[in-house]
């Protein structure tokens, strides 16, 4: 059964509480004067090279890293700051209000779509 990406990211958190994406972005940001091969990023972060590949691809799609094969470097600082601010805000809201349950959202969405279908049938 598939899981949503937030659950996946949360499950891949390190002992320090950082996701693989956070570890990779932090590493590249600390070394912003260099570009690295995937293998070098894996060695420096201690993350499995296959996981590094998947994470780098997602980070590239979001504009958080740059890629010129075979090298990877930190992306636009403003985008990274915005993503980091959003992540911190979401964490604070989750702590204050509790994390949202995706299954509940899906169930509520299914209930809403069914009730609107029922209303349409009555008309």
- The pTM score is 0.60
- pLDDT for 110 equals 77
Which residue ranges form the domains of the chain, and what is each CATH number?
5-122 (1.10.10.10)
- pLDDT for 114 equals 58
∠ Cα 73 71 59 (to 5°)? 50
Mean pLDDT per 10-residue segment, the chain (123 residues): 67 64 93 96 96 96 94 86 65 75 80 58 53
State whether residue 82 is helix, strand or coil. Answer: helix
- Report residue 69 as tokens: 């094969």
Sort strands 36-37 and 65-68 into parallel, antiparallel or unpaired: unpaired
- H helices present in 31-76, as ranges: 38-45, 49-61
Instruction: Compute how many other C-beta atoms are within 10 angstroms of the C-beta atom of residue 22.
Output: 19
Q: How far is CA 24 from CA 1, 49, 96, 122, in A?
A: 27, 12, 28, 54
Q: Are 31 and 70 in contact (CB under 8 A)?
A: no
């Amino acid at each position: 059964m598939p899981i949503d990406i937030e659950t996946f990211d949360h499950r891949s958190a390190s002992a320090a509480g950082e996701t693989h994406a956070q570890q990779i972005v932090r590493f590249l940001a600390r070394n912003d004067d260099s570009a690295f091969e995937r293998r070098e990023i894996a060695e420096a972060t201690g993350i499995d090279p296959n996981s590094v590949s998947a994470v780098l691809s997602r980070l590239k799609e979001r504009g958080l890293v740059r890629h010129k094969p075979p090298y990877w470097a930190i992306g636009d600082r403003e985008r990274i700051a915005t993503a980091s601010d959003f992540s911190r805000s979401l964490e604070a809201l989750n702590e204050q209000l509790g994390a949202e349950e995706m299954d509940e959202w899906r169930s509520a969405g299914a209930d809403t779509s069914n009730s609107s279908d029922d209303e349409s049938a009555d008309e």
